[in-house]
Amino acid sequence: MTLTMPHSLRANELVVLEIKLGSLDRGLRVDVETESGRSLGAISPFGVRSGKDAGTYTIPVPADALVKDSLRVRLMINDGRTKRSPAHEEIRSVVLKTGQQPETK
């Protein structure tokens, strides 16, 4: 999928993916990578009751992964042996967001 930035990246801003998961079977992981295969991270919900949504997660996106204020990203369901595309009910939404970098001391 291709996600577009809400605006061009400004100084001291960071970019994150906000991913809302639906119901996932126990032991499944969501791998998040760019179109070129660069890993952005993984989501491995734990302790979610069967049949319940697995929650909302944020994954930081390096600025150099953006191309012309957009990000092409691929989500895959991984059971430890095989990967597959997610079913519609497993991924509720994927949004690209910006925010202020935390100040360092």
**Tens-place pLDDT, residues 20-50:** 999 888 889 999 999 999 999 999 887 677 7
* pLDDT confidence tier of residue 100, bands split at 50, 70 and 90: confident
Q: Round to whole Å and give the CA distance between 19 and 55.
A: 8
Nearest to 3 by CA among 32, 30, 39: 32
Any idea where the domains of the chain sit in the sequence?
A: 2-55+73-100
pTM of the model: 0.85
pLDDT in tens, 58-84: 999 998 999 888 999 999 999 999 999
Q: 3-14 burial by CB neighbour count: b if 16+ within 10 A, else e?
A: bebeeeeeeeee
Structure confidence at residue 8 as a pLDDT band (50, 70, 90)? confident
Length of the chain: 105
